[in-house]
A and B are shown apart, each in its own frame.
Chain A
Amino acid sequence: MKINLIDLTIEKAHNSLLKDEYTVLDLANAYLAVIKEKNEELNAYLEIFYTDIIKQAEVAQKMFQAGTSTLMTGIPIAIKDNILFEGHIASASSKMLENHVAVYDAFVIKKLKMEGVVILGRTNMDEFAMGSSTQTSAYGATRNPHDMTRVPGGSSGGSAVAVASDMALVSLGTETCGSVRQPSSFCGLVGIKPTYGSISRSGIIAMGSSLDQVGPMGKTIADVEILYNAIYGHDILDSTSLSDKFRRTVLGEFKGQSFKKRIGVPREFLKGEGINEEVLKNFDESCQKLKNLGYEIVDVSSDMMKYSLAVYYIIMPAEVSSNLARYDGIRYGLSVDASNLYDVYAKSKGQGFGKEVRRRLLLGTYILSHGYYDAYYNKALKVRDMIKEELLNIFKDVDVLITPTVPFPAFKLGEKMDDPIAMYMCDIFSAPANLAGIPAISIPSGKTVDGLPLGLQITAPYLREDILFSIGKDFEKRV
């Protein structure tokens, strides 16, 4: 039978698989057919795991036969190229790790294997997740399926495009600052950056460790929620991972309480950032929709949020320069032969890393160097705490905050590549959630006159993904 992939959701697929309307392999093959047709042009996947797909499908099919299937069993999923899947290349879209084969499974992969998902392949990204357009990949840019002349956003651009163009049902991206939400917004998807510590980063190629988090992407809130539920949980291999007991304690405080349905808009923060007019109009429409749904929308004042991106662009390069020191041409990854040890390091890094990665390595080295450390890094840590504190106070009054996800719709390929600050502005509304460790989601909120998708960002207090899903589902019905 022909499977309608356009409107397919996890629940629909699950019911069809339960009723044996089609097999797990039929479903995977339906996606492979689209991949064959579209991937060459879109460049969403860097590799399809052909030989494994059949094995994974068999495992899943057996789970259905044995009656042990879950909602995720047999669901075809795409994973970002910085997530380790044992025995497969994980390159972070860098020449540095072109031939790097994962020697163990990431925590999220272990979890998904237990559910019997079918991992279709690894997706293109900005090199080492440094970028907002998937153009810094060493393997070519990914295109936006809504307009082939435009970027899909990034850094999880491949994971976004895979789902947006029916080459996977759901996908995993990662975020350091907006890398799941921004491509979700540009491609018309739902994407969540969960609470810091909610999902283990064991087996995720690190960028900024105080900020990194895995994020599910999908076409509907329900799909993203199901995927999120399948991968969160405590992991001893990530020391920032929240214990199950802690999670229960925090959530226990809210149990049975209905939230106030009171939503805050940080109006001054929005005004300062040169938002595109269509984006602002769409945002006002979203506010109106939420009012019609019975939510109260209030302006909240914020002195600190406007500094988030500046703080991010200090903390992130500092952490990048530390994290990427490990790629030295000695233990794994690219190794360039030279006459002495220093040159092996320097040449391996010089040839293995792309331009934006090299820029951030030097920026981080500068920020952490003697004489500048206090002025930049230490100051940024303090301001980060002030931002966090301000957000905690705001959440005493409102349930969530809303902003547009990005100040503008998807831009043209090639645009902003020569102007780092313009590119960094993509993350202006994303930064507060990553700095504060709180969850935020991007949900489709309509399109521009030219048909480019726009997103609404909702940010919630610590561990309150449930509120994001709840408001998101209300909002989704109305779009």
Chain B
Amino acid sequence: MELEVIKKLATMARVDMDEMEMQEIADSFGPILSYVGQIQEISENGGNRENLIDNVPHNVLREDIVTNKGGEYTDKILGQAPKIQDGFLKVKQIL
């Protein structure tokens, strides 16, 4: 795979990495994609989703109501945040 493609992927995935590693990843993608690509040869028959999903829960929803007291977990959760201010997460200015 082209190094340029890997660079784009790294930007989309928001992962900063050096060019040497990107080249390594580019080299490893060939064998991986050719291995997983073997599924292209399968003609699709069967595998009817409707037959399969009746035995598992799907699209499980709950009522859209507040289940905890306001601020109940705020301190605990914000305690893990790198930067906070007045009970909010603090991020770099974006405008």
Query: Which residues of A does B touch, CB under 8 Å?
Result: 100-101, 103-104, 196-197, 236, 239-243, 246, 250, 304, 307, 310-311, 313-314, 321, 328-333, 335, 338-347, 349-351, 353, 355, 358-359, 361-366, 369, 375-376, 379-380, 382-390, 392, 420-421, 424, 437, 462
Q: Which residue of A lies closest to B83 (CB)?
A: A335
Residue A239 contacts which of B25, B60, B92 (CB distance < 8 angstroms)? Answer: B60
Measured as residues with beta carbon below 8 angstroms from the partner, the interface class of chain B is 35 or more
Complex: how many Å from CA A347 to CA B21? 15
A330 with B16: in contact, given A313-B36, A375-B40 (CB under 8 Å)? no
What are 29 A-B contacts defined by CB distance under 8 Å? A101-B80, A103-B73, A239-B57, A307-B39, A307-B42, A310-B36, A330-B91, A331-B81, A331-B89, A332-B80, A332-B82, A341-B91, A341-B93, A341-B94, A346-B16, A349-B16, A350-B16, A358-B15, A362-B6, A363-B29, A366-B9, A369-B9, A379-B42, A383-B42, A386-B42, A386-B46, A389-B48, A389-B51, A424-B32
CB A373 to nearest CB in B, in angstroms, measures 13
Q: Contact: B92 with A341, CB < 8 Å? A: yes
Total cross-chain contacts (CB, 8 A): 152
Complex: how many Å from CA A433 to CA B7? 35
Residue A362 contacts which of B13, B76, B92, B93 (CB distance < 8 angstroms)? Answer: B13
Q: Contact: A365 with B82, CB < 8 Å? A: no
Q: Which chain B residues lie closer than 8 Å to A321 at the CB level? A: 13
Q: Which chain B residues lie closer than 8 Å to A355 at the CB level? A: 21
Q: Which residue of B lies closest to A353 (CB)?
A: B15
Complex: how many Å from CA A347 to CA B60? 36
Q: Contact: A379 with B21, CB < 8 Å? A: no
B79 at the interface (CB under 8 A from A): yes
Q: Contact: A389 with B91, CB < 8 Å? A: no
Q: Which chain B residues lie closer than 8 Å to A384 at the CB level? A: 47
Q: Which chain B residues lie closer than 8 Å to A364 at the CB level? A: 13
B56 at the interface (CB under 8 A from A): yes
Q: Contact: A196 with B39, CB < 8 Å? A: no
B52-85 interface (Cβ within 8 A of A): 52, 55-57, 60, 62, 73, 76-77, 79-83
Q: Contact: B89 with A389, CB < 8 Å? A: no
CB A385 to nearest CB in B, in angstroms, measures 4
Q: Contact: B12 with A365, CB < 8 Å? A: yes
A197 with B57: in contact, given A100-B80, A321-B13, A345-B14 (CB under 8 Å)? yes
Q: Which chain A residues lie closer than 8 Å to B76 at the CB level? A: 103-104
Residue A344 contacts which of B42, B56, B92 (CB distance < 8 angstroms)? Answer: B92
Complex: how many Å from CA A187 to CA B56? 33
- Known pairs A366-B29, A379-B42, A385-B48; list 5 more (Cβ under 8 Å): A250-B55, A313-B36, A359-B25, A384-B47, A385-B46
B22-37 interface (Cβ within 8 A of A): 25, 28-29, 31-32, 35-37
